[in-house]
Structure 1
Amino acid sequence: MTTAQASTLAELTEMINAVLGDFATDQPVTMDTTFRDDLGMESIDVVSLAGRLQARYGDTVNFAHFVAQLDLETVGELRVGQLVEHIDTSLAAAGAGDR
């Protein structure tokens, strides 16, 4: 894992824990953690996470576009690492990779 990915994973973990509140898992969030099975996130939680991503990264990280490119089965099995990679790729493409 790169330094940028570790930083993004830490930020994303904070957002996930804020969204889940009292329902946050005691298990560490890793690149292989799944949103549905491991974290128990429901659709409304994902929408809330998308809002936090928008507030943090603005239009640079388009979560809706990212999810729209996935098929239904892949969305259900979405791993945190996939979102971390999307965030880092989006930031790098926008020239904001160096945080």
Structure 2
Amino acid sequence: MPSDSTTILTDVTTMLRSVLGEFGADTEITMATTFGDDLGMESIDVVSLAGRLQARYGSTVNFAYFVSGFDTTSMTGLTVGRLVDFIADSLRKQPAAS
């Protein structure tokens, strides 16, 4: 599975647009985009995103572990880039298939 940031950003952007529906259609999503201030994501949106990440990356990307250290304020300021970096790092650490 590709672990480059550009590909992952494209995947995450697609997931976010799906989660946000009509609201996300006109919003530019970049590495600096924040979940709360820019995208207006609420907890139910984050749960939906977690499910999509699980479906796409399986157990390789443990989103629950990633967000477990965030409080509400930290989660609001979380950037798409930080999530992309976490995904890329998780994929690089995945053992090669034999």
- TM-score by shorter chain over 0.5: yes
- In structure 1, the partner of 2:37 is 37
Aligned positions of 1:1-99 closer than 5 A:
4-95=4-95
Between the two proteins, the alignment pairs up a number of residues equal to 94
8 Å CA contact retained: 1:25, 1:39: no
The separation in 2 between residues aligned to 1:95 and 1:89, in whole angstroms, is 12
The separation in 2 between residues aligned to 1:88 and 1:95, in whole angstroms, is 13
Higher relative contact order (CA 8 A, sep 6+): 2
8 Å CA contact retained: 2:30, 2:80: yes
8 Å CA contact retained: 1:20, 1:45: yes
Q: CA deviation at 1:76?
A: 1.9
Give the gaps of 5 or more residues in structure 2: none
1:51 maps to a residue whose letter is G
8 Å CA contact retained: 1:24, 1:39: yes
Identity fraction in percent? 55
2:39 maps to a residue whose letter is L
| Structure 2 SS opposite 1:31 | coil
8 Å CA contact retained: 2:35, 2:75: no
1:39-94 CA distances to partner (integer Å, 9 max, x unpaired)? 11111000000000000000000000000123443222100000000000000000
| Structure 2 SS opposite 1:24 | helix
CA-based RMSD: 1.5
